[in-house]
Amino acid sequence: MNSGSVGGGREGEIPLKKGPWTAIEDAVLVELRWVNHLRPNLKKGSFSPEEEKIIIELHAKMGE
């Protein structure tokens, strides 16, 4: 492990840049965001009222 510095410092490592996303970085994320799922058929929309009820019940039963 490195000694607490972000982005390394080891020889050959690319240091991480802090700060706001660039337009290019944002475009790459937008392009990858929806294809980077283990299950491509995973529902991505809002929960139905029935699904929300189940989630709340299970959270109350099982905790965090």
- Interatomic CA distance for residues 19 and 6, integer angstroms: 13
Q: Contact, 14 vs 7, CB < 8 A?
A: yes
- Please report the sign of the dihedral spanned by the C-alpha atoms of residue 48, residue 51, residue 56, residue 59: negative
Residue 47 clears pLDDT 50, i.e. is over it:
yes
Number of C-alpha atoms within 13 angstroms, CB side, residue 16? 8
Residue 38 clears pLDDT 90, i.e. is over it:
no
Per-residue pLDDT band for 28 (boundaries 50, 70, 90) equals: confident
- Interatomic CA distance for residues 48 and 62, integer angstroms: 21
pTM, entire model: 0.36
Domain boundaries, the chain: 23-62
Q: Contact, 6 vs 16, CB < 8 A?
A: yes
